[in-house]
Amino acid sequence: MENMPNVSAVICTVNRPQLVLRAIKSVCAQTYRDLEIVVVLDGPDSATRESLAAVADPRLRVVENPTNVGISNARNIGIREARGEWIAMLDDDDEWLPEKIEKQMELAATLHRDDAVFLTLYYDRHGTQEMIQPRRFPRPGQPVSEYLFCEYLLLGSRETFLQTSTWLVRRKFMIEHPFTPDMRFNEDADWLLHTIHDTNEQLVFVREPLAIFHADENRARLSVRQASAWKMTRQWILQDKHIFTPRARSFILVTICLRSCVESESGIRNCLSILGDCWRCGVVTPTVLWLFLRTAFVFPALRRWAPRKLTMTLAKWSGSSWEGSKR
């Protein structure tokens, strides 16, 4: 037991040998040393296996899945394999700044809650552009679904994207509350919605940026490539209605769900059906209507006709092209 690490960094990866090495390097550079690195290689991938074999740090352990089981199942495997009291999630294409774990552990030592999720601010980096997220913290009594999905500026910029690579959670709590099996989209938000019941007590922030979320425009997102992504998101919202307030249902329908629908070129009829879902199981406000028009018509038109640099800037403000899961 004396050799057990206190923190386990859990990284799931497949077919990204260079990116995962960058993530591992950022863990090895942590000022907090009492940790291990658990990499779940999700399926056959000789290139990544060879890259991981070249890492000299003895704290690295690799778990190889014989077949690809998807991000939720892979994360659950990594959490079960971890030996630390704490789990620190890290996406394979993100990285930590050196004091990230140290400052989170200092904050965790001041509290006595086993159900808290310790987060940090992070740099949301898109090429040469960068912003600090999240830009707002929960208000007293605010439902978690509204905090996650209803905080938008006038132009439609989402203010409260809680990137998984900033999470630090007790392993016992994550074992008791695993990621929903076989879920390949929105798995991070789904976990938070099912486990966080008091945003002001359970979401605990180190209020400085200590991670980097790489939202590179040229790195394909599964949610963009797969035409059925919007249908799966819609099904998730309508089947798990109890984890959303009506207002949150409408916001996520006309942002994340509608965005996937537009990017998969599923047609105006499907876009309008999503707006119909807002009438039936959510609320329709001027903000919801604006977000619908912005996502379905305004920004697609700008992407077709505006200069590329202007389009990228507007996409950054709108959050329309780089929110949500990166797998």
Q: How confident is residue 246, by pLDDT bands cut at 50, 70 and 90?
A: very high
Q: What is the mean pLDDT of the chain?
A: 87
Range of the domain at 234: 222-318
Q: Are residues 180 and 246 in the same domain?
A: no
| CATH number for the domain that contains residue 18 | 3.90.550.10
Mean pLDDT on 157-183: 93
Domain boundary among 195, 214, 233: 214
Please state the rounded mean pLDDT for residues 311-323: 47
pLDDT of residue 302: 62
Angle, alpha carbons 237-241-246 (nearest 5°) = 95
- The pLDDT confidence band at residue 203, using thresholds 50, 70 and 90, is very high
How much is the pLDDT for 262?
A: 87
Check residue 158 and give its pLDDT. 75
Same domain, 59 and 175: yes
Of residues 298 and 91, more confidence is placed in 91
Residues 142 and 264 in one domain: no
Same domain? 313 vs 246: yes
For position 316, what pLDDT does the model report?
53
Does one domain contain both 169 and 266?
Answer: no
Inter-axis angle of helices 187-195 and 71-81, nearest 10: 60
More confident residue, 325 or 227: 227
The number of domains in the chain is 2
Res. 3 pLDDT band, cuts 50 70 90 = confident
Q: What is the pLDDT of residue 310?
A: 54
Tokens 């007293």 locate to: 140
One-character DSSP codes across 207-256: EEEEEEEE--TTS--HHHH-TTHHHHHHHHHHHTGGGS-HHHHHHHIIII
In a domain, 325, yes or no: no
pLDDT in the model for residue 324: 36
pLDDT bucket at 87, cuts 50 / 70 / 90? very high
Contacts of 9 by beta carbon, 8 Å cutoff, 6+ apart:
27, 35, 36, 37, 38, 88, 90, 101
**Residue scoring higher pLDDT (70 or 264):** 70
Distance CA 165, CA 9 (A): 10
- The DSSP letter of residue 169 is E
Could you tell me if residue 39 is inside a domain? yes
With respect to residue 1, please indicate whether it lies within any of the assigned structural domains: no
The reply to whether 27 and 117 lie within a common domain is yes
* pLDDT recorded at residue 309: 54
With CA atoms as reference, report the closest residue to 291 among 325, 232, 249. Answer: 249
> Does pLDDT of 7 surpass 70?
yes
Q: Which of 176, 197, 214 is the last residue of a domain?
A: 214
pLDDT of residue 157: 65
Cα angle value 260/263/265 (rounded, 5°):
110
The residue-averaged pLDDT of 298-306 equals 65
Mean pLDDT of 86-114: 96
Q: Which of 157, 160, 151 is nearest to 129 (CA)?
A: 157
Residue 105 and residue 192 share a domain: yes
Number of Cβ within 10 Å of residue 323's Cβ equals 19
Q: How confident is the model at residue 222 (pLDDT cuts 50, 70, 90)?
A: very low
Position with higher pLDDT, 158 vs 178? 178
Rg of the chain over all Cα atoms, to the nearest angstrom: 19
Domain end residue (candidates: 169, 189, 214): 214
Q: Is the pLDDT of residue 224 over 80?
A: no
Q: What is the pLDDT of residue 313?
A: 58
Q: Is the pLDDT of residue 279 over 80?
A: yes
**Is 0.75 surpassed by the pTM of this model?**
yes
In sequence order, what E strands does the chain have?
7-13, 35-42, 60-65, 86-89, 95-96, 117-126, 129-133, 168-170, 203-214
Number of Cβ atoms within 10 Å of the Cβ of 311: 16
Strand partners for 87: 8, 169
